[in-house]
Structure 1
Amino acid sequence: MSTTAGNTKAYADSSGSFKRRGPRFTDRIVANPTGEGEWPAEPGRYRLVVSLACPWAHRSVIVRRLMGLEDAISLGITDPLQDDRSWRFSLDEDAKDPVLGYTHLEQAYLARDPEDGTENGVSVPAIVDVASGQLVTNDYPQITIDLGQQWRAHQRAGAPDLYPEELREEIDGVNEGVFHDVNNGVYRAGFATKQARYEEAFTALFARLDALDERLENQRYLVGDHITEADIRLFTTLARFDAVYQSHFKCNRQKLAEFGALWAYARDLYQTPGFGDTVDFDHIKRHYYMVQTTINPTQIVPLGPEPSAWLTTHHREELGGSPFGPEGSAPTPLEHPLRPLGPIDM
């Protein structure tokens, strides 16, 4: 089984450090393709496959919802519990994705490259060309940027600009530190195989969280006065912190709920349409605690923490700014949960 939540293959090197391999397929879907490796942004052509457990895939779910692309790009959701072929569609009727007809996401990877399609693992998020059944891209950082920038002709009225040109340098700088020390940092702590490597990751993680906590004391969002890519990338790790990383990955100096500004910031985002309504704590906990048996061999899933804490008052609006910018608006409420109907194997 995979040892990570949704991203690419990972391993610990001889020093005991966790290493993550990058995405295998880095084609892009763009408004005006001009060459090899570029696909047209055509509504109805693609299916976005995710796991609700996976923080890397969760980013794309949030952006798709914020941009109002539900009718343009369909969504396939995998079982949080993998088998020896990785992500499977066992929550859907007949254990097959109703659009692709696949039982496993692996099939889209092999349709794209029968020889080496799964060389770097089978990861989510993955965008699949429906007609051919071939994987287009699993480049998780680029997917969200392109959903925000390249699909503008198909976005809802009031969709925010998550990657404004004048803020890109600052957003990229924030994202780089957050990726290394927080998004990937929790994995570097959790999957380290030597004490020194764990302590290095642990120290860097909490140093970064302390810096973010200080940064957010006097500003509502990480960059600028409305939500950007930076907030989305940080949020998906924060949403899993107390439920998983604090205990399961031994990131236990303190809980997210014991921070000041950072915890209020996380609650502010959670209560913003597109964020909390895409979080599934059941999928999250079942995946981490039941799949990662090298860390949790008993596969016991903890009952806490109480999710209602995410709905408590945060007062972040007092800092000014607005979630979607001065000309933006919230996406319409979800009519039903994201999760497909069906049992989860225990």
Structure 2
Amino acid sequence: MAAIPVAVLGATGAVGQRFIQLLDKHPLFQVVALTGSERSAGKKYREVCRWVLDTPMPPEVAHLTVLDAEADVPAQLVFSALPSNVAGPIEQRLAAAGHIVCSNASNHRMEPDVPLVIPEVNPDHLNLIAVQRRRRGWSGAIVTNPNCTSTPATMVLRPLLDTFGVRRMLLVSMQALSGAGYPGVPSYDIVDNVIPFIGGEEPKLEVEPQKMLGQLRDDTIVPASFTTSAHCNRVPVLEGHLVCLSIELERKASPEEVADVLRAFRGLPQELRLPTAPEQPIIVRDEPDRPQPRRDRDAGRGMATVVGRIRPCSLFGIKLIALSHNTIRGAAGASILNAELMHAQGWL
């Protein structure tokens, strides 16, 4: 089968580079177009991209000429790594022109007719594509993946909600530097320090999981009814967001029962054996000091959520630690997995 041509928007940034890395030799998709800023447009990708990843820049994209951010792209499927301050109108314009936009930006996530999807969690929400097309009168679509810190929390909540029910959750994040993009946080601010504020993060974490864990009824999402309180912190780690979760369940459960449910969890991507899907979406570690970003972020090729320290909570009933690779599962890899599911379901 011929590869599906795809474009990457915002290709020179850190998440754009991660898209290119993960799409290299992909069995379904081939990068044929890149966009960037006015400074980059008209030049070869290798000339304008300061490549910051550990693997080399794929030679297949190094020679591509970077297009202007406003250009129409020669690919139906588009992966957006655009910053939120410019993503909104560009993504809408492309969707109106017939492109399928898989977006990592936050602009459209909470719009009622835009799917906010983790394929293991809410694959049925892709049916909002038909609603979106009907309401907006366009042939394309915008499909979003969640905030990189919402991802591990929501992955954990899916099997717990289905098995025990969830009433409320307290979330404390320790978020890696790469979540701020490149060059990220100034070294003078973050070395020997923790910054207890990340602009706009806490409100996202208090609404995105409810949308993803909600039910699609009559062309709209009815959000899940649990409540979340979030504290977000930037820490001096390169990759991997760690979240401490205290969860009140509807039905009491022991740490052993919670661990068994998380270990057994599988979703539609595992059933369909999608190329980017990890064989085991949630990995439970029994050691008293795991997960750790440096040791566990690459589990499942960076697509697994690693959970540990499952134990009783004197306030909420159960508490645990969850880790996710923020630029793979929390960003580029999430969008690619969404596109793989859309391909499997006939949306492409």
Question: What's the TM-score, normalizing by structure 1?
Answer: 0.28
Question: What's the TM-score, normalizing by structure 2?
Answer: 0.28
Higher relative contact order (CA 8 A, sep 6+): 1
> Normalized per residue, which structure has more helix?
1
